[in-house]
Amino acid sequence: MDLNKFFKAKSIAIVGVSKTPGKVGHVIFRNLIDAHYKGELYVVNPNAKEILGYKSYKKVQDIKKPIDLVAIAVPAVLVLKVLQDCQKAKVKNVIIVTSGFRETGNEQLENKLRNFLIHNRMNAIGVNCLGVLDTYTNVDTLFLPRFRLKRPKKGGIAFITQSGAVGSTILDLASKNNYGFSKFVSYGNATQVDEADIIEYLANDKQTKVICMYIEGVVDGKKFMRIASKASKKKPILVLKGGTSKEGHKATISHTGSLAGNEKIYNGVFKQTGIIQVETLEDMFDYARLLEKSMKPKGKRIQVITNGGGFGIITTDALVKNGLELATLSKDSERILKKNFPPIAQIQNPLDVLGDATTDRYKLSIETFLYDKNIDIILVIALLQTPLITVEIVDTITELNSLNKKPIIVVSTGGDFTEVLRNSLEENGVPTFVFPENSARAIKALVDYNSN
């Protein structure tokens, strides 16, 4: 299924644009203008002549120009009529944000839409969705104002979500945390285009490095397995499954109307298709950031460097609890460090560079471990509260990381000063974490994905 025009549309018509700010269609239109969307924009509202300086058309077929994508934001009872108009105007791709179908018991109307779409070989994302956001082309059908919901910067994480609310809040959070997204798809009821179609598209999308998903159920199990198995070999797929408890499952029925199905079956499906199942929203994006940024590790032997003994211990506990191994550093590494470290230092794993560590001591340790064959991944705990670490640590670690020899991951816990330095590292391509336990879980996902 070719979904390219949903993201790279050169012209978009929005049907159901009210003159009133705050209404769904109006917000979508306004957002596209604010996002400096570069393609042609058309608005359809039979009761208006002009909206925000744009001519308002009565029907889609009145536009008489090629339209790559139509966003539909009219009441449920009018959607079929708009689809017929689209068909007449030779429109092939539509996003139906309108709700009030299967999720509220109106299954019959939704089936009618599906039949019409299939019969006329049209592709539709929705119904009951937010649609798409492409950070590269600025195609954006999210009907949420940009001041309340910031859009994330360009990056390699794609996010597919059955729930618009989960999707939009995560986008907003991602923008605050400076995570880079490639594409976002809120597909709602999956009336015609389903989650598997979107995975297939994203698996071949060059801007996407990692695929994240929030789903409550899949539409077609066999199709999902076939597509996901192939896709997960190309890039990591992370899934948070909603409705894993009996009570949560019950709630999915009145939400997207998904039949969430037996949890054990889903767990099996994810395992068999190579999908990484996560337990929490926080984990999903922690894992995604690491998988997006990190190179492939050769194994699971971790060397920890720390300037706080307690952090070394907490980190060690977390790594071991996640099935990872502490590396045994080579005799060569030991010799180099013993020669250059103060005599009080113990050359071991975790390596405590001590509270009076300078940036140079970090540099020497990381450099040494990059060439140590007993070590697969270097986990650097840099507590920036101590006076002798200079801000040059950002450049130092960035340079060592760009040698692309081994994954280097940094944990820095702290306040504003720490955050500034941690964000600089992250922007320079070094994956970073606030808490050691979160980094350990993410490293486990990195190791697991790359060991298959």
272 binds a second copy (CB under 8 A): no
Q: Tokens 């013993």 label which residue? A: 338
3-class secondary structure, 214: strand
Distances (CA, A) of 440 to 300, 344, 410: 11, 28, 11
Out of 57, 179, 214, 449, name the contact with a second copy by CB under 8 A.
Answer: 214
Compute the least distance from the CB of residue 113 to a second copy, in Å: 19
Site string for a second copy, 331-350 (x = CB under 8 A): -------------x-x-x-x
Compute the least distance from the CB of residue 89 to a second copy, in Å: 29
Instruction: Return d(Cα 439, Cα 380) in angstroms, integer.
Output: 10
Compute the least distance from the CB of residue 61 to a second copy, in Å: 31
Give the pairing of strands 54-57 and 50-51.
Answer: antiparallel
- Interacting residues with a second copy between 365 and 424 (CB under 8 A): 383-388, 413-419
Task: Report DSSP state, residue 295.
Answer: P
3-class secondary structure, 293: helix
Angle of helix 436-451 relative to helix 309-321, nearest 10 degrees, comes to: 40
Count the neighbouring beta carbons within 10 Å of the beta carbon of residue 417. 12
- Interacting residues with a second copy between 280 and 299 (CB under 8 A): 280-282
- Interacting residues with a second copy between 116 and 175 (CB under 8 A): 144-145, 147-150, 161-170, 172-173, 175
Burial state string for 318-332 with b = 16 or more CB within 10 A and e = fewer than 16:
bbeebebebbebbee
Out of 245, 272, 402, 451, name the contact with a second copy by CB under 8 A.
Answer: 245
What's the distance, CA 411 to chain centroid? 21
Compute the least distance from the CB of residue 209 to a second copy, in Å: 22
* Closest to a second copy by CB, 211 or 384: 384
* Closest to a second copy by CB, 431 or 436: 436
Q: How many chain residues touch a second copy (CB under 8 A)? A: 85
Compute the least distance from the CB of residue 65 to a second copy, in Å: 31
Instruction: Return d(Cα 424, Cα 430) in angstroms, integer.
Output: 9
Instruction: Return d(Cα 435, Cα 439) in angstroms, integer.
Output: 7
Out of 52, 109, 225, 313, name the contact with a second copy by CB under 8 A.
Answer: 313
Compute the least distance from the CB of residue 166 to a second copy, in Å: 4
Site string for a second copy, 31-70 (x = CB under 8 A): ----------------------------------------
Distant-in-sequence, close-in-space partners of 165: CB < 8 Å, separation ≥ 6: none
* Closest to a second copy by CB, 5 or 30: 30
Instruction: Return d(Cα 114, Cα 103) in angstroms, integer.
Output: 15
* Closest to a second copy by CB, 254 or 340: 254
H or E segment to which residue 119 belongs: helix 107-119
Out of 180, 242, 297, 431, name the contact with a second copy by CB under 8 A.
Answer: 242
* Closest to a second copy by CB, 168 or 294: 168
